[in-house]
């Protein structure tokens, strides 16, 4: 019965800003795995990240919507916006699974989440109840999770583009237009974000 439910990949992130690396990963999971859609879960505040460099959550959500509006397999969700802050993955999973019982949710992410995974609230419970589809990222090893039954690893295209690199480049007046979805780049320039 479980396998008959539509499999949805949940891609959690600050998306500060959303960039082509995020887009490529989202598309990879819909095209090269059994995931039907990827939902970009925009996190208002990640408990493990500093808040000072974070653009307002609604501005980040708007840019993710701009980036994904022409792709029916990639969606945005603001489900964490109505939840207590900071948001914890275990709480979001419980809420989203209850709201959409007809769907099967899989967490997606890069190997860079694994070194701090033990710091996630109730991380063992998450591993016991949900599957993870993890793409390899340069410089990060699976470690103790390499043969975990709840985790599958994928060799998605390797990119070393990061949101922090993009923010720094924009602040320094560099043209990084090819690293962002075109509508997102134009919006950032128009609004003067990250200067």
Q: What ranges do the domains of the chain cover?
A: 2-160
At 29-69, the pLDDT tens digits run 999 999 999 999 999 976 666 667 789 999 999 999 999 99
pLDDT tens per residue across span 126-184: 999 999 999 998 888 888 999 999 999 999 998 888 999 999 999 999 999 999 999 99
Asked if 20 and 28 count as a contact pair (C-beta separation under 8 A), the reply is no
State the residue for tokens 């969700």: 77
Cα(190)–Cα(77) distance, integer angstroms: 24
Of 16-20, 25-29, 38-42, 84-88, which gets the smallest average pLDDT? 84-88
Query: What's the whole-model pTM score?
Result: 0.93
Q: Which CATH architecture has domain 2-160?
A: 3-Layer(aba) Sandwich (3.40)
Q: State the sign of the Cα–Cα–Cα–Cα dihedral 92, 95, 98, 102.
A: negative
* Lookup: tokens for 159: 């990119």
C-alpha–C-alpha distance, residues 134 and 111, integer Å: 6
């Amino acid at each position: 019965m479980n396998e008959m439910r539509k499999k949805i990949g949940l891609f959690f992130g600050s998306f500060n800003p959303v960039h082509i690396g995020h887009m490529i990963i989202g598309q990879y999971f819909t095209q090269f795995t059994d995931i039907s859609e990827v939902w970009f879960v925009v996190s208002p505040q990640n408990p493990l990240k500093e808040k000072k460099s974070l653009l307002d959550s609604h501005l980040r959500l708007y840019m993710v919507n701009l980036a994904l509006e022409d792709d029916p397999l990639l969606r945005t969700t603001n489900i964490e916006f109505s939840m207590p802050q900071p948001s914890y993955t275990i709480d979001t999973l419980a809420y989203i699974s209850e709201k959409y019982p007809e769907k099967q949710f899989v967490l997606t992410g890069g190997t860079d989440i694994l070194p701090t995974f033990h710091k996630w609230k109730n991380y063992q419970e998450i591993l016991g109840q949900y599957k993870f589809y993890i793409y390899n990222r340069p410089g990060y090893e699976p470690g103790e999770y390499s043969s975990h039954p709840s985790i599958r690893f994928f060799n998605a295209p390797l990119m070393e583009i990061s949101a922090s690199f993009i923010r720094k480049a924009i602040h320094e007046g560099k043209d990084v237009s090819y690293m962002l979805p075109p509508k997102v780049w134009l919006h950032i320039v128009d609004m003067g974000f990250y200067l």
